[in-house]
Amino acid sequence: MIELFLSRALLVAIRVGGLMTFAPFFGNASLPVQVKGALTLLLTVLLLPVYAATAPTGTASASGWIWMAMSEAAIGLMTGLTTQFVFDGLELAGQIVGFQFGFSLVNVIDPNSQVEITVLSTLYEFVGLLIFMALGVQRWLLRAVSASFLMIPPGSLAAAQLPARNLLRASGSMWLVGAEVAFPILLATMVVDMAIGFVTKASPQVPAMFFGISVKVLLGLALLYGTSIFWPRLFENYFFHALANLQDLLTIGR
């Protein structure tokens, strides 16, 4: 009886722990591991009595239980990655804009991935995280992982095919996010580059390169701050579209 209870509790904890590991905000490196562990334990205690009836009732073999545990970790992975794709798209937008500004050599260490990224990628990511918390998307993620126990009972995904192809297809959204966010600045800076090219060709004696870079950066920064007023509505659509993708993935995996 104790073994069955622990088996059910661990399957629930593994799914919740996957969310705490891969999801934005919850999986952030600045959040202490002790806090993540406490939240995982608390959510497991809250969810286990509600979804205990949907948990597997039989005693599985060691290999079968390991496979069920891996499927629960995959659900937590999908829950976190579908929303993390938005932040990856914002980081990509920062890379594009930083390259256009000539900031590609001004890098900082990302505390989450421990790799060098441009300062504008960090700016985009932090602004996206602030909007993420302001919209309360972290609460929607908790609701999503809670609803996943009704859609996919613990251990049942081990007998189904993992929707890996659909997850890879959903990952393409990061390119769409990056292109849409960076498009206004990218278009403006390209126009400035073309204008500088025409000026240089028409009047070689004009020091176009001397003031061209400054004009491009100032125009880009003005557009960056000007378009930021549309970011909350834009990112809201991105986040809730990611949650809709998550629901589709869970439906496919059922």
Per-residue pLDDT of 206-222, as tens digits, reads: 666 667 777 888 888 88
CB 71 within 8 A of CB 157: yes
Segment 38-88, tens digit of pLDDT: 998 998 888 888 776 555 555 557 777 788 888 888 888 888 888 888 888
Residue 199 makes CB contacts below 8 A (sequence gap 6+) with 206, 208
Q: Which of 7, 142, 138, 145 is nearest to 67 (CA)?
A: 7
The predicted structure's pLDDT at residue 106 = 66
Q: Where are the domains of the chain?
A: 2-253
Instruction: Report the alpha-carbon distance of residue 158 to residue 166 in Å, rounded.
Output: 17
**Which amino acid would we find at residue 161?**
Q
Provide the token pair at 214.
């400054």
The burial of 176, by beta-carbon neighbours within 10 Å (0-12 exposed, 13-18 middle, 19 or more buried), is given as: middle
Evaluate if pTM is beyond 0.85.
Answer: no
| Structure token pair of residue 246 | 């998550």
Q: How far apart, in Å, are the Cα atoms of 38 and each of 14, 20, 22, 34, 43? A: 13, 10, 16, 6, 9
Which residue carries 């989450």 as its tokens?
112
> Quick check: 131 and 235 in contact, CB under 8 A?
yes
What's the pLDDT at 25?
84
Instruction: Among 18-27, 73-82, 151-160, name the one with the lowest average pLDDT.
Output: 151-160
Each residue's pLDDT tens digit, 79-118: 888 888 888 899 899 888 888 887 777 676 666 666 777 8
Question: Given this model, what pLDDT does residue 157 score?
Answer: 66
Q: Residue 116: helix, strand or coil by DSSP?
A: strand
Residues present in the chain in total: 254
pLDDT in tens, 120-131: 888 898 898 899
pLDDT of residue 191: 87
Which of 101, 100, 119 is CA-nearest to residue 109? 119
- Token output for 228: 């930021």
